[in-house]
Amino acid sequence: MAQVDLTSLESPAKLEEFYRQMVFIRHFEERCNVAYRQGLIGGYMHTYIGMEATGVGFHHAIKVGWDYVITAYRDHPQPLLMGSDPVAVMAEIMGRKGGLSKGKGGSMHIYDKERNFFGGWGIVGGHTALGGGLAFAAKYRGEDRVTLCYLGDGAANAGVFFETLNMAGLWDLPCIFIIENNEFAMGTRLEYHAADTELWKRGLPFGIESERIDGMDVLQVAADARRIVDKVRKEGKPYLVEVMNYRFVGHGAADNDRQLYRTKEEEEQAMRRDPIALLEKILLDRNVMTREKMEAIEAETEARVDEIYEKAKASPFPDPHEVYDDLYTDLGPERGH
């Protein structure tokens, strides 16, 4: 097969957008890590550092606000890409009143219904059935919406995921299951958690078209994603794609000792394929962007993230009485201990 010049498929403006988005996610997540260490973010928090090309690549293939998107707890980048107010995203992560879920969800549970972003889920594999349900609803109503259902390699072993794949195959649900294979289920390496490490094969027994793609080259992801999303929209059938990437950080912000499960050498090797650095090289080699321009974008992004962070930090914590709000649509819970 002839090598396709993927840059030629995207306009310079689009390439710049890819770059800006990836740099933005990287900075946003790094800022989250700093805030976590400072005690300004609590609980469990999982960042997307190293995996940016996957989210950005797929984001450009969907119709934002029409298609459905659902993911697990590594969920910061999705709303940021879909146009949610980044201050509201950061405020949610910081447990503030101004957060998308008014501080009730936190880092793992970010939602933006207006944009059809349905979270933000903390039970490994549990949300994949909900993703199937979103696609079920689209099919039920005869709409051409596509559902992107992200999950990790750890979730690819969950029983409910297999149940969902079966029903998706059986009922032709227009759902794209995106296994973000970052090689680790928390601290357990792929070959220690999966009998068959080729996770893309998970769809095959259910008659679901399935493949494995490289998740570090955003141009490749974007091209593959567009092909897959268009196909699912057209044919109304499910699809499974295993995206090979790597998280450059711990499982969560509380994971401080990565050497328990992987070596520094291995990390360094993986980081040589940093998706941002890869894109920079392509942009430079093809004369799409200069180094100066990249540095300017970096600086601009850093300033923007600072501003987002300061605004989120200025949002007050929820009032104690809000603990009773939003349990039901129509009634409050009983009060008191």
Partner 1 sequence: MIETTFRDAIHRCIDEEMERNPDVFVIGEDIGRYEGTFKVTKGLWPKYGEKRVVDTPIVEPGFTGIAIGAAMTGLRPIVEMMTMSFSILALDQIINHAAKIHYMTGGQVSVPMVVRGPGGAAKQLSAQHSHSLEGWYAHVPGLKVVAPATVQDAYGMLKTAVWDDNPVIFTENPGLYTLKGTIPDDKDFTVPFGKAQILREGSDLSLVGYSRMTQVNLAVAEKLAEKGLSAEVVDVRSLLPLDTETIYASVRKTHRAVVVYEDWRSGGFGAEIAARIGEDCFDDLDSPVLRVGGLNVPMPYARVLELECIPDVDDVLATIERKLG
C-alpha span between 164 and 274 (Å, rounded) = 33
Q: Which stretch binds partner 1 (CB under 8 A): 54-62, 120-128, 235-243, 257-265?
A: 120-128
Q: Write the burial class of residue 32 (CB in 10 Å: 0-12 exposed, 13-18 middle, 19+ buried).
A: buried
Is residue 119 involved in binding partner 1 (CB under 8 A)? yes
* Distance of closest approach, residue 65 Cβ to partner 1, in angstroms: 13
- Asked if 58 and 136 count as a contact pair (C-beta separation under 8 A), the reply is no
Q: Could you give the CA distance from residue 50 to residue 47 in angstroms, rounded to a whole number?
A: 9
Site membership for partner 1, residue 190 (CB under 8 A): no
How many other C-beta atoms can be found within 10 angstroms of the C-beta atom of residue 174? 26
How many residues of this chain interact with partner 1, rule: CB under 8 A? 50
Expressed in percent and rounded to 5, the helix, strand and coil fractions of the chain are 50, 10, 40
- 128 lies in the binding site for partner 1 (CB under 8 A): yes
Closer of 175 and 225 to partner 1 (Cβ): 175
**C-alpha span between 33 and 308 (Å, rounded):** 15
Instruction: Kindly list the strands in the beta sheet with 175-181, ordered across the sheet, starting from the edge strand earlier in the chain.
Output: 68-70, 147-152, 175-181, 239-244, 209-214
Q: State the Cα–Cα distance between residues 286 and 19, nearest whole angstrom.
A: 14
Q: Which one among 19, 121, 177, 246 touches partner 1, defined by CB under 8 A? A: 121
Which residue(s) pair with 180 in the sheet? 152, 243
x-marked contacts with partner 1 along 312-331 as a string, rule CB under 8 A: -------------xxxxxxx
User: Residue 179, SS3?
Assistant: strand
- Residue closer to partner 1, measured from CB, 160 or 190: 160
Q: For partner 1, what does the binding mask look like between residues 142 and 181, x meaning CB under 8 A?
A: -----------------xx--xx-xx--x-----------
Question: Which of 14, 20, 104, 201 touches partner 1 by CB under 8 A?
Answer: 104
Residue list 62-81, contact with partner 1 (CB under 8 A): 68, 70
Restricted to residues 237-296, the positions that interact with partner 1 (CB under 8 A) are none
Interface residue with partner 1 among 58, 111, 239, 309 (CB under 8 A) is 111
**Between 79 and 275, CB nearer to partner 1:** 79
Q: What residues make contact with partner 1 under the rule CB under 8 A?
A: 68, 70, 99-105, 109, 111-114, 118-123, 126-138, 140-141, 159-160, 163-164, 166-167, 170, 325-331, 333
